[in-house]
Amino acid sequence: MTEKTKELNNWLGEKLCKKVVAALNNNRFKAEYCANAEEAKKRALEIAAGATTVGFGGSRTITDLEIAEALTSNGATILNHGNPELSPEEKMALMKQQQTCSVFFSSANAITLDGVIVNIDGVGNRVSAMIFGPEKVIIVAGRNKLVNGDICDAIKRVKDFACAPNTFRLGKKTPCAETGICVNCNSPERICNVTTILEKCPRLTDIYVLVVNEDMGF
């Protein structure tokens, strides 16, 4: 990709990201524009400053930002159920603790240009914590998560671009983990079980949304 192409992509990305930020703020979320991942990480850590317990929703975006490592060095207790060394009982205990942590980090599977956040979960622990319980929720979403369409288009974006990579990442035995294509399966290991649509920010939850002019996660 040439520098000119990058410049044009960034120009368009900035326009779309700022449009989404304005729409999210109109929907009572606390949304901000970040020009790149480095800026998003810096801002996320500022918002999370002073947190004693920090939960994570299994986000590739947040993992790539190395948020947990930064907060660990600041003395926060990290509640990360994705640690492969955990027993099923320990994993369940951490997922429950995440529901009332100081700060909960996640990404979004899709955000429409009019500021609606759409997520799809297998268990529901991530979307549950995003809606109610933690003192603060911080969502970091790259420009690749933005959808110029309605809620149905957002759900299609999640099924087409997020579910299969997540299933493969988690080692699930589903058709999409083999083919990369969603077939609306009935597999016991299916991760598309719970769909949440945040049209407005829930009244008792502070949700910060950092919209980043870079492709992040999937």
The confidence score (pLDDT) of residue 215 equals 97
Q: What is the mean pLDDT of residues 130-158?
A: 98
Q: What is the mean pLDDT of residues 95-117?
A: 98
Q: What is the mean pLDDT of residues 79-98?
A: 94
**pLDDT grade, residue 84 (50/70/90)?**
confident
CA dist 10 and 6 (Å) reads 6
What is the three-class DSSP state of 157? helix
Sign of the Cα torsion 197, 110, 106, 121 reads: positive
- Asked if pLDDT for residue 14 goes beyond 90, the answer is yes
Q: What is the mean pLDDT of residues 69-91?
A: 92
The confidence score (pLDDT) of residue 145 equals 98
What is the three-class DSSP state of 93? helix
Percentage of residues of the chain with pLDDT beyond 90: 96
- Asked if pLDDT for residue 74 goes beyond 90, the answer is no
The mean pLDDT of the chain is 96
Q: What is the mean pLDDT of residues 37-42?
A: 98
Among 139-143, 168-172, 205-209, the range scoring the smallest mean pLDDT is 168-172
CA dist 17 and 142 (Å) reads 9
Q: What is the mean pLDDT of residues 98-113?
A: 98
Percentage of residues of the chain with pLDDT beyond 70: 100
The confidence score (pLDDT) of residue 45 equals 97
The confidence score (pLDDT) of residue 183 equals 94
pLDDT greater at residue 148 or residue 82: 148
CA dist 118 and 111 (Å) reads 6
Lookup: tokens for 189: 């290991």
CA distances from 60 to 56, 78, 133, 141, 166 (A): 10, 16, 22, 11, 9
CA dist 125 and 58 (Å) reads 10
The confidence score (pLDDT) of residue 43 equals 98
Q: Contact, 100 vs 49, CB < 8 A?
A: no
Write out pLDDT tens, residues 183-207: 999 999 999 999 999 999 999 999 9
Domain 3-145+197-212 in CATH 1.20.120: no
Sequence ranges of the domains in the chain: 3-145+197-212
Q: What is the mean pLDDT of residues 22-33?
A: 98
Q: Which residues contact 132 (CB under 8 A, 6 or more apart)?
A: 202, 204, 205
Amino acid occupying residue 52: T
CB atoms within 10 A of CB 148: 11
CA dist 19 and 41 (Å) reads 21
- Asked if pLDDT for residue 73 goes beyond 90, the answer is no
**pLDDT grade, residue 121 (50/70/90)?**
very high
- Asked if pLDDT for residue 83 goes beyond 90, the answer is no
